[in-house]
Structure 1
Amino acid sequence: MAVKQHAYRGALSALLLSATMLLSAGDATAWERLRSDAPERYQVVSGDTLWGIAGRYLYAPWQWPELWQQNPQIANPHLIYPGDVLLLSDCQGTPCLQLERGQRVVKLSPQMRTLPRREAIEPIPMDVARAFLRDHRVVDNASELKTLAYVVAGEDRRLISGAGDKLYVRGDVPSHGQVGIYRQTEPYQAMDGTPLGLELINVGIARPLGSNEDSSDEDSSDEDIAQLEVISSSQEVRINDIVLALEERELDREFMPRAPLNSVEGHIIAVPGGVRFIGRYQIVTLDIGTLEGLQAGHVLQVNQRGELINDPRTQELIQLPNSEAGVVMVFKPYDHVSYALVMQASRVLEVGDQVLSPVN
């Protein structure tokens, strides 16, 4: 009996030791992800973003939930305000942040409550993305273009029109509210040439004036003709420009930078505007979208292809391994393509660079 008890205690001790070692290894990994120069106290200032704040503490800002993982989920989560002080603490062996507001110290939750924009601390610098979405959108396939309304004529047979001018449009146009006038650009293609979608550029905004009151009962050819008045234009409106209901432009202010749940891999296939070399806070187009599981807020690592070199001994051509070059965050995914914002760039990024789920 004593032998059995001794064996049982020995097995229990070994189990506890193994659990302790695993816990210690996990905690050590969490501390390793913390920047060596992370401040013990940080006061939030106007203009801060959650990405920027997390970047002061973590080498990979998208891993921000690790600093909040010890915090209980509460019905009315606290929001980070300018003037609040963040305290770096040790929560049972794991690094965590606490919030000091006045005389109270409360634990943070990885959520946000919607507040007036002037007070809210946003996840990333959203102004760049908002401005971009005013002028760009994607149609998923070319056949869809044939079903969209289009400009057939300008007033007094004008070939180009501007603000204050009237247009004639054929197709299904909303009877009220504002509509966008768009022009097709080069189609998006995958690296192997597979078509992925068509980018449309906004050239103006118009409002419907109703159907043509002078239409004849004997002639039904103009039944699908609508008249619009151009309210504003950034370029001349031309014949055959596309007319669509304005796309929802307001971004979800509560999405948080995070890694995709599933493994994804793709490429940067374009830079709207034709820029060749890409840096921080520029917009890029990726050849993956919602069908691959991408959502707004997903963060992807950018890798650049290794150089081709000659082996100094054998003279054979060998390729060096790919190297990490930056981080992008998706803010507007479509079926096959996504618009993403470059958040970090240790090198100049280029079309053709690989994007994939970040390595934790």
Structure 2
Amino acid sequence: IYDTDGNPRLVINKAYRKLSPMGRITPKGKDAITTLPLALIKPYLSFEQAINSDTIKEKPYILGANENTKTQTIDHILYVKGNLKRHQAYAIYHKGAPYTDPNTGEELASRASYVGMARAFRTGDAANGEPASVRVESVKREIKQGDFLLPAMEGQMLPVYFEMHRPEQPMQGQVIASPREMKEFSTMDVVVLNLGSEQQVKVGHVLDIERQSPKVIDSARGPRYTEDSSRLEKLVSATSELFGSETDEDSVTWKMPAEKVGEMIIFKVYDKVSYALITKNQHPIRIGDLAVIH
């Protein structure tokens, strides 16, 4: 644009608008997948195992040490029943209480807690009664007679990343335990489920946590929770469930729905159990709560 004297002028063209880079906030949908903080689960990836009891019986185990002490420490020599590879590093585990299915009583796996690391310098010959020998290189907890050995990296590999997604098929399990032996859990706590690879569970699966609402017996006295009902009402309720029909038209048992109380991500899977990290919870999560996908 030029003025009356023919000189060029700089003016603002209001038909154009200057744009600058800026952030944009997009609300998450209800099915948004939470990221998995690896720093929180690394101790469980590295130091926790859930191993079949029969498998543990086949592993080399500690017979004793070169000193009769209760606590073995760095540089102590341990004698092992089993044939080891010379110069191989071995992780030492303590067998803990079994994980059992609350519905069937089946032993699903045994908890195995990492207690130390040792390196073999004698291979041993179990068939001829000659123990293998290892030297302790690090100790996390007390090493005891009977503790078993695994090659150092077996079951301890940290995934490069987790591909998090919802399972394609419905599934239902339960929270059966906690590595920290707690009774109630919250966000970023780790729990153990009675679901494993046999139930098509995979690392990265995102499951809902649901809690079964308590049953109500509705009789002539009015509705009451099962624990507040009389022995006769409980007997009638149990008989009704057993035979699939109501034995007393004046007493009806109402089975209430389960309600969602949180979410979890599976990060370690075995044959019949898995470890999961709680990522959301509206109420304290408890043993017995359901892990489901409908």
TM-score band w.r.t. shorter chain = 0.7 to 0.9
Matches of residues 1-360 of structure 1 in structure 2 within 5 Å? 41-42=24-25, 56-62=27-33, 123-140=35-52, 142-191=53-102, 192-211=104-123, 220-222=128-130, 225-246=131-152, 247-309=154-216, 311=218, 314-315=222-223, 316=251, 318-357=254-293
**Which of 1 and 2 has higher RCO (CA within 8 Å, sep 6+)?**
2
- Aligned pair count reads 241
Distance 1:182 1:325, change over 3 A: same
Give, as a single letter, the amino acid of the residue that structure 1 aligns with 2:57. K
TM-score normalised per structure 2: 0.75
Note if contact 1:149-1:170 (Cα within 8 Å) is conserved in structure 2: yes
Q: How big is each residue's C-alpha offset from its partner over 1:39-70, in whole Å with a ceiling of 9 and x where there is no partner?
A: 9715xxxxxxxxxxx9x5222223x9xxxxxx
Identify if the C-alpha distance between structure 1 residues 199 and 265 changes in structure 2 by more than 3 Å, giving closer, same or farther: same
CA contact (8 A) 1:130 1:250 kept: no
Any conservation in 1 of the 2:36–2:162 contact (CA below 8 Å)?
Answer: no
Residue aligned with 2:67, SS: helix
1:325 and 1:354 map into 2 onto residues whose CA distance is 10
**Deviation for aligned residue 1:297:** 0.3
The 2-side partners of 1:170 and 1:130 are apart by 30
Compared with structure 1, are the counterparts of its residues 294 and 174 closer, same or farther at alpha carbon in structure 2 (3 Å cutoff)? farther
Larger radius of gyration: 2
Alpha-carbon deviation of 1:337? Answer: 0.4
SS of 1:238's equivalent in the other structure is: coil
Aligned partners of 2:158 and 2:150: how far apart in 1?
19
Partners of 2:84 and 2:123 within 8 A in 1? no
Structure 2 distance, partners of 1:250, 1:184, is: 20
Q: Distance in 1 between matches of 2:269 and 2:75?
A: 34
Structure 1 residue 174, shift from structure 2 partner? 3.5
Q: Is the 8 A contact 2:118 2:135 kept in 1?
A: yes
Q: Deviations over 1:6-58 (max 9, x none)?
A: xxxxxxxxxxxxxxxxxxxxxxxxxxxxxxxxx9715xxxxxxxxxxx9x522
Runs of 4 or more, structure 1, over 6 Å off, are none
TM-score between both structures, scaled by the size of structure 1 = 0.62
Q: Is the 8 A contact 1:130 1:249 kept in 2?
A: no
The separation in 2 between residues aligned to 1:241 and 1:261, in whole angstroms, is 40
**SS in structure 1 of the partner of residue 75 of structure 2:** coil
Instruction: Report percent identity of matched pairs.
Output: 23
- In structure 2, list runs of 5 or more residues that go unmatched: 1-21, 224-250
Greater percentage in helix:
1
Q: Helix, strand or coil for the counterpart of 1:133?
A: helix
**Counterpart position of 2:240:** none
